[in-house]
Amino acid sequence: MIEITSLASGSSGNCYRVTDGNTPLLLECGIPFKQIKQGLDFQTSELAGCLVSHCHMDHCKAVKDVMKAGIDCYASKGTFDALGISGHRAAAVWPRGLFEIGTWIVLPFQTEHDAAEPLGFLLYSRETREKLLFATDTFYVRYRFRCLTHLMIECNYALDILQDNVSAGRIAPDRKNRLLKSHFSLANVKEFLMANDLSRVREIHLIHLSNDNSDAARFKREIQELTGKMVYCE
């Protein structure tokens, strides 16, 4: 069974460990490598790879150290170019180009963010026959997915909370405009979930919640009421 462990989630850094019981992976490495090692009880040698969605530091801060530790990192060519990274541990992947890591089959897909060639990832385990969707830092997902069992999806803000913060002068209007064009809102998440096949879904993990514009308890409650699924806020 797929297991998901959040080491960090949010604007200060993102990093998650996922495993199907056979092949452990990192999704993102946006915190110091020392912190990653501590979060994994220093069992980094078991990691088969690290998937990186895009070039912003809260998602890839430790990528060079991860590669130095002997762990292959997978990201778009645009991400590696933006970071000035190359080498045999830097494996460039392309939207809709399948690749394998151990018992995982991974399908990258295009996301919508203000970064160079950002990606989401669909992971299928040949070990458990489960399917995990990972989508973060995107204001839109153009694809629909079938037979998902686990979702890790950004739920960065609620528009009403964001607007209240703008009205109160706590957030500048230009920051609001960026969020609207770069991040998934609660409303986006609801629309996306209703457009997809949730019949086999066991867990929904809401990730990358804003420190200022989110409400974890509310988000969890509303998504659970909408879907009837187990929901976690990371």
CA angle 136, 139, 144 (to 5 degrees): 75
Position 207 scores a pLDDT of 98
pLDDT in tens, 184-211: 999 999 999 999 999 999 999 999 999 9
Q: How would you classify the pairing of strands 150-154 and 131-135? A: parallel
Position 109 scores a pLDDT of 98
Residues 6+ apart with CB under 8 A from 71: 26, 44, 47, 48, 49, 50, 89
Q: Which of 62-66, 116-120, 170-174 has the lowest mean pLDDT?
A: 170-174
Interhelix angle 186-194/216-227, rounded to 10 degrees, is: 20
Position 40 scores a pLDDT of 96
What percent of the chain shows pLDDT beyond 70? 100
What burial class does residue 176 get, using C-beta atoms within 10 Å of its C-beta: 0-12 exposed, 13-18 middle, 19+ buried? middle
What is the pTM (predicted TM-score) of this model?
Answer: 0.96
Position 216 scores a pLDDT of 97
Position 183 scores a pLDDT of 93
Confidence of residue 146 (pLDDT cuts 50, 70, 90): very high
Number of helices followed by number of strands (H, E) in the chain: 8, 13
Which token pair is 29?
């490495």
Position 192 scores a pLDDT of 97
- Distance in Å from the first CA to the final CA of the chain: 19
Considering just the CA atoms, what is the radius of gyration of the chain in Å? 17
Which token pair is 182?
């770069």
Confidence of residue 225 (pLDDT cuts 50, 70, 90): very high
Averaged pLDDT for residues 59-80: 98
Question: How far apart are the C-alpha atoms of 174 and 77, rounded to whole Å?
Answer: 29
Residue 70 φ then ψ, to 5°: 90, 20
Q: Where are the beta strands (DSSP E) in the chain?
A: 3-8, 15-19, 25-27, 50-51, 73-76, 90-93, 99-101, 104-110, 119-125, 131-135, 150-154, 203-207, 230-233
Position 229 scores a pLDDT of 98
Averaged pLDDT for residues 221-229: 98
Which token pair is 8?
């960090």
Residues 6+ apart with CB under 8 A from 177: none
Q: Which domains does the chain have, with CATH numbers?
A: 3-233 (3.60.15.10)
Cα 199 to the center of its chain, rounded Å = 22
Average pLDDT, the chain: 96
